[in-house]
Structures are given as structure tokens and as C-alpha cells.
A and B are shown apart, each in its own frame.
Chain A
Amino acid sequence: MQLKLSKVSHQYANKFGEVIIPLQDVDLSIDRGEVLTILGPSGCGKSTLLFILGCLLKPTQGEVVIDSIPTYRLVEDELAELRSRKIGFILQQSVLLPTLTVRENVLLPLWIGPKPFNKKSAEQKVTSLLEESGLLERAKFLPHQLSGGQRRRVAIVRALVHDPELILADEPTAELDDVNRSLISTWLLELADKGKSVVIATHDPFLTGVASRVYTLNKGLLLLKAKPGKSHEAL
């Protein structure tokens, strides 16, 4: 997926009229097969940026263009369909539906999505994803019966199940052990190799290590930090 932000600014205002501008004139373009990481102190606006990339937040200024369609032209339902078809969102908080089992939670994007899916192959895919992330024994557990890290892995698997073209990951490796962190970074890399685009907000060196580009966000400004040339071999 090709994604382009031009001159994107966003501002929040609270009830007292105080204004926060976490993004100011941000230009960014992402191509197929790229892995971007965004660093920055807490509260700088990383999540805000990801929400804008995921068509969940309309920037107060500027333009988001996805596959050469400016998103402001799309109505809410079209944006929703775009999300369900093409975007996999790993939220900063691993929110799961409390009434669904692990397996059902993972299947959720397929249930929601407009495209009919092959039940058998979907089940197989879920099974293999759960197995790889060590969750297969928990497949029939409800979210409240899981640990924080397990919940996070469920949320990650859920973001990948519908084969999205753009993966937005907000601190995906928080709460995870080394084995799982490297697993996640391997997954994200594999996805990039398949031509998916990946944007990660993180502090995790595992992830910055595999990125094609690393940005920092501070005081509303998005700056390119480094271009770690042959980072793939670093792993």
C-alpha cells in the first residue's frame, strides 16, 4: 500500500481552551515493503500519528492519500471498509472483546470484513498464527483468563489475520519477553518482504533494528533519524 501524508497537522483542545499540537506539518510517505519505526517521548503524539494513518482520526490540517485516493474524499463507511480490508491495527492497549474466546477474537476482523472468507483456510491460518505465538493452548480461553503479554499477542495476531496491506503497530512489543519480541519483529519483517507496509511506534531496539527508516517525533515535528542500510542482516 502506498501512503502519503502531506503537511499534516493535528491539534487537540480540551474544555478549557488549551490547545495541544502533537503533529505539525508532517510529511511522510510509505511504500510497499517498507518498515518504518517512530520514536519519541511519551505524549509526543505517536499514537495520534498512527490513528491518522489508520483513518481513525481526521487531521485538522493536511492531506492523507492512500493508494492515490485522498481520504478526505471518503465517507465514514468507505473508511471503515478500507480499515477492514487493508489495515491491521495493533493498538497500544490490547483491547479484546470479553465475550469472545481467544480464537474468536482473532477471527473478529474476518467476521466484520465485507469480503466473504473461506472458513477452513481462515481456521487454519488462525491455528498456525496462534501456534507460532504460543497461544494455541489458550485458544478457548476468554480474555480475562489471560496474562497481559498473552492478551497483547492475541491483539497482534488479530491485526494480521485478514492479511492487511498496512500494519500499524503501537508499541507492539511492550510487555513481551525476548522470545516473543523477536518473533514479532520477524513476523513484521516477513510481512514487509511480502510487500506489506509496516509502521511501528516503539522504543524497542529489536524493532528499530529491522526498520527501513527510523523517525523521531518531538514537539510536533517528525524527523528522519537514520537509515540503517543493511539492517536485515543485523538480526
Chain B
Amino acid sequence: MLLKLVWRNLVRRPWQSSLTIFVVAACSAALVSSLLMLWSIENGAKSALNQWGADILVLPAQAEYSPEEVLFTGSPANIYMKAQVIEEVSEIDGVEKATPQFFSQTLNQSCCSLPDEYRLVGYDPASDFLVNGLAQGIGRELNQEEVIIGSEIPAFLGDRVVILGQPFDVAGYLKPKGGSIDRTIFVPIATARQVAFQSPYLQEIWHGAGNPQDLISAVLIKTSESVSPEIIGQTISNIPGLKAVTAGKLMQDLQEQLVAFRSVIWVLVLIIGAITLASLCTRYSSLMLEKREEVGLLRILGARRNQVFKMILAESFITVLTASFLGSLFGLGLLIHYKLMLKEYSSFPFLMPNLSQIVIALSGLILATLVISLLAALWPARRSAFIDPVLALSEGQLR
């Protein structure tokens, strides 16, 4: 029908259309990037909590902790406790499994080592109930020269990494999980201790704390269902020198941190939506005035009201569809940029939804933008359809 007219109008008045496109695209980009960012962060937080898999984490009492550090940080503090803690804790009623971990880190070294700092986690293959579950498909204990590495750690020379000067074989890679686990190297606890002990950078610590063979960083506990983890956590915290963090508490802390963030994002989203609606409303109202004469002519030549109505809606539909598509792509680009930035400067969990989720989300957003634009165009389109053609024409002549 009059699509030809719509198309020529868009193409031959590029400046007019591109202004609208610019406004809508900018708003879409802002919407897409902020919403997907929120989603990625919530995603990351959830996945980090899920993969944690322990009910209680026991740390030395001096260890500062914040939830994202415990779960995600790439730079654990070098604070240790005596290995006997594990026996002490195991005796508590309701503790089903307890496994020690020994944290350290790789340090920047010249030639042939890993380029960044990574978290080195030694786990006890005998009592472990977490790491083997994380690394799917290995199905056996690691030997002393093997490691499991997070998805963001670059291996080189085939499947090998060099940690503090020693080469290791990579037995398995973890899937991207978001958070620090992607930058973690899991090794048998003996290896971790040995590597740490030999590191020239860590000697001072061993002078103070003793031989790493007798030290652990944390105990991960699985509780029996009959006793609440909170009560066990309380019991452990009462032991001098120890501190317990329960999964429930972690979840709560994390949620609290996210609440503020989430509400900021949603307020922004509402504001952006309102701005889009308002600017489209102004745009279409003035467009309606600009086009009075043309619409009058069409009506005189016999165009029906609903042809005019559809024509104006179609024009807005095409413009806004183009705009929100471009804007979404741009927003996605921004998101990837944020992601890289966040990875560099913070330990915040960030796990982008997978492609199909992104596609669905973007389609939803584009749809929402279209609804907004239809809302904005509806009234002007109706007004245009109902103008008095003769009057519109003579008024048009006078402008």
C-alpha cells in the first residue's frame, strides 16, 4: 500500500529520520548495557555461590573477609592457621565432611611464568568434596604435577603452565563461572605448600607462621541436614582464633550488596524509558504538524483515514526498529567493554548470559522500545488521520 511512500520519506529525508534514530538508539544502548550488566552481575553472583558448594567456611579469626572476597577474590591474604583445626572442627556435632585448603598466589615474574597474579588453591584430594565436582570429566585424583585451571588462565606450550618457576600439566579446564574461580589454579595441597614454601617472595611469612606443611588457610565444611549450619557456625566462631562464614550469610551479604545496585539500575531504566517516550512524543507531534499539508493532499487524493494512520505508525515502526537494533548492538559492545574493564580493576563477579539468552533479552528490549514508540506515535497518527484535508491544505500553504 503506502509503504512506498513511507520508505521514500525515510530515505529522502535522512536528516529527519536519523535524528529520531539517534535518540532512540542512544536510549536503547543505555537500556541494553545497564540491564545486561545487572543481569551479568547477578548471574555471576549466583553462579559463584552455587559452585562454592560448602555450607560453612572456616577462616583464621584475623582474616578480613567480605563475601565477594571469599567467593571471588583473586588476591587472598596470606593468613594461615594450624592444620589441627581440621580435627577440632570435625568433632563438632553436625559436621559431616571437612576438607582443608591452602591458598597462595602466583606472583608476577619475568620470563615464562603467568602474566598476572592468580589464586593458587591447594586442596586435599583425600577429603575434598568440591574441586573434583567442579572439574568435570577428570574423574581421578591429580598427581603432584597436575593442575586444574580456571577458564581465564592462559596455558601455553600445549597444556602446561609455569607456576613460580615450576612447570605443571593441565589436567582439566573449568568452564567460565564468573568471579575469581576463573582465575584460580587448583593443585593438590602438598604441591601448593611446597610451591609456596620454595617461593622466594613468601619467605617472610613462613618465618612468622611456621612451616607451611603444618598450615592451612581455610576449612570447608559440609553439614548434616539435622543441624543448622548457622548453629555450627556459631560453635566454630566460639573457638578462639577461628571464624565461620556460612553460605546463608554469604548469600545474604551478597544480596544486600546487590540490592542497591539493582535499584539504581532499575530507576535508570525507568528514567531512560520515560525520556525515550517523551522525546518520541515531541518528535511525532511536531512531525504531525510538519506533515499536515502532505496528509491533507493524500486525503484529497482519496487516501482513507486508516491508510494515513497506518502509514504514520509504519514510519515510526521502521525508524524505531532500526534505531533500537543499532542501539542494542552498541549497548552490547558497551557491555563487553565494561566486562573487560571490570575484570581488570575489580573482583566483582561478572558472568555474561549466553548467546541465546542475550538474543532473547535483546528481542525483548527491542519489543519494549517498539511498544514505547507505538504509544508515542498512536495519538499523533490518529490526529493526522482525522484532520480536515481542506483546512490542512490551506494552513500548510501559509507556513
- A residues sitting closer than 8 Å to B (CB atoms) are 51, 54, 56-57, 76-77, 80-85, 87, 89, 91, 93, 95, 97-100, 104, 108-109, 111-113, 142, 158
Provide the bound-state CA to CA distance between A100 and B6, in Å.
Answer: 11
Chain A residues with CB under 8 A of B389: 56
* Known A54-B300, A99-B12, A112-B307; 12 more pairs at CB < 8 Å: A51-B390, A76-B305, A80-B299, A80-B305, A84-B301, A84-B302, A91-B300, A95-B393, A97-B5, A97-B294, A109-B301, A112-B298
In the complex, the chain B residue whose C-beta lies closest to that of A108 is B301
Provide the bound-state CA to CA distance between A147 and B6, in Å.
Answer: 26
Chain B residues with CB under 8 A of A142: 12
In the complex, the chain A residue whose C-beta lies closest to that of B7 is A99
* The residue from A87, A99, A113 contacting B8, defined by CB atoms under 8 A apart: A99
Provide the bound-state CA to CA distance between A56 and B394, in Å.
Answer: 13
- B residues sitting closer than 8 Å to A (CB atoms) are 1-2, 4-5, 8-9, 12-13, 293-294, 296-307, 389-390, 393, 396-397
In the complex, the chain B residue whose C-beta lies closest to that of A105 is B297
Provide the bound-state CA to CA distance between A104 and B9, in Å.
Answer: 12
Distance in Å from the Cβ of B351 to the closest Cβ of chain A? 48
Chain B residues with CB under 8 A of A83: 300-302
* The residue from B4, B302, B396 contacting A109, defined by CB atoms under 8 A apart: B302
Chain B residues with CB under 8 A of A84: 301-303
* The residue from A56, A99, A104, A113 contacting B300, defined by CB atoms under 8 A apart: A56
Distance in Å from the Cβ of A58 to the closest Cβ of chain B? 10
Chain A residues with CB under 8 A of B298: 108, 112
Provide the bound-state CA to CA distance between A81 and B303, in Å.
Answer: 7
Distance in Å from the Cβ of A123 to the closest Cβ of chain B? 14
Provide the bound-state CA to CA distance between A112 and B303, in Å.
Answer: 6
In the complex, the chain A residue whose C-beta lies closest to that of B396 is A95
* The residue from A98, A99, A100, A113 contacting B302, defined by CB atoms under 8 A apart: A113
Provide the bound-state CA to CA distance between A71 and B228, in Å.
Answer: 85
Distance in Å from the Cβ of A194 to the closest Cβ of chain B? 21
Provide the bound-state CA to CA distance between A158 and B298, in Å.
Answer: 12
Chain A residues with CB under 8 A of B300: 54, 56, 83, 89, 91
Chain A residues with CB under 8 A of B8: 99-100, 104
Distance in Å from the Cβ of B50 to the closest Cβ of chain A? 57
Q: Is the interface of B mostly helix, strand, loop or mixed?
A: helix
Provide the bound-state CA to CA distance between A56 and B298, in Å.
Answer: 12
* The residue from A51, A99, A113 contacting B13, defined by CB atoms under 8 A apart: A99
Provide the bound-state CA to CA distance between A85 and B304, in Å.
Answer: 12
Given contacts A99-B8, A100-B5, A112-B2, are A57 and B301 in contact (CB under 8 A)? no
Distance in Å from the Cβ of A34 to the closest Cβ of chain B? 23
Provide the bound-state CA to CA distance between A97 and B152, in Å.
Answer: 59
Chain B residues with CB under 8 A of A54: 300
Distance in Å from the Cβ of A126 to the closest Cβ of chain B? 15
Q: Is the CB of B9 within 8 A of A99?
A: yes
Chain A residues with CB under 8 A of B12: 99, 142
**Residue among A80, A83, A100, A104 having the largest count of chain B Cβ atoms under 10 Å:** A80
Chain A residues with CB under 8 A of B299: 80
* The residue from A57, A81, A97, A104 contacting B297, defined by CB atoms under 8 A apart: A97
Given contacts A95-B297, A99-B9, are A85 and B302 in contact (CB under 8 A)? yes
Q: Is the CB of B393 within 8 A of A112?
A: no
What are some 11 contacts across the A-B interface (CB < 8 A)?
Answer: A51-B390, A54-B300, A56-B300, A80-B302, A80-B305, A81-B302, A87-B302, A99-B8, A100-B5, A111-B1, A112-B307
Provide the bound-state CA to CA distance between A81 and B305, in Å.
Answer: 11
Provide the bound-state CA to CA distance between A161 and B107, in Å.
Answer: 83
Distance in Å from the Cβ of B187 to the closest Cβ of chain A? 70
Distance in Å from the Cβ of A110 to the closest Cβ of chain B? 10
Given contacts A80-B304, A83-B300, are A93 and B5 in contact (CB under 8 A)? no
Chain A residues with CB under 8 A of B397: 93, 95
Question: 10 smallest A-B Cβ distances: which pairs?
Answer: A84-B302, A83-B302, A99-B12, A80-B304, A112-B303, A99-B8, A77-B304, A99-B9, A95-B297, A109-B301
Q: Is the CB of B4 within 8 A of A111?
A: yes
Provide the bound-state CA to CA distance between A99 and B7, in Å.
Answer: 10
Distance in Å from the Cβ of A177 to the closest Cβ of chain B? 24
Chain B residues with CB under 8 A of A113: 302
In the complex, the chain B residue whose C-beta lies closest to that of A158 is B301
Chain B residues with CB under 8 A of A104: 4, 8
Q: Is the CB of A57 within 8 A of B294?
A: no
Provide the bound-state CA to CA distance between A10 and B80, in Å.
Answer: 100
Provide the bound-state CA to CA distance between A83 and B389, in Å.
Answer: 13
Provide the bound-state CA to CA distance between A108 and B302, in Å.
Answer: 10
Distance in Å from the Cβ of A14 to the closest Cβ of chain B? 13
In the complex, the chain A residue whose C-beta lies closest to that of B294 is A97
Q: Is the CB of A89 within 8 A of B304?
A: no
Chain B residues with CB under 8 A of A81: 302, 304
Chain A residues with CB under 8 A of B396: 95
Provide the bound-state CA to CA distance between A83 and B293, in Å.
Answer: 18
Distance in Å from the Cβ of B384 to the closest Cβ of chain A? 14
Provide the bound-state CA to CA distance between A91 and B296, in Å.
Answer: 12
Provide the bound-state CA to CA distance between A82 and B301, in Å.
Answer: 10
In the complex, the chain A residue whose C-beta lies closest to that of B306 is A77
Given contacts A95-B293, A95-B393, A99-B13, are A77 and B305 in contact (CB under 8 A)? yes
**Residue among B8, B12, B303 having the largest count of chain A Cβ atoms under 10 Å:** B303
Distance in Å from the Cβ of A167 to the closest Cβ of chain B? 13
Chain B residues with CB under 8 A of A77: 304-306
Provide the bound-state CA to CA distance between A117 and B293, in Å.
Answer: 26
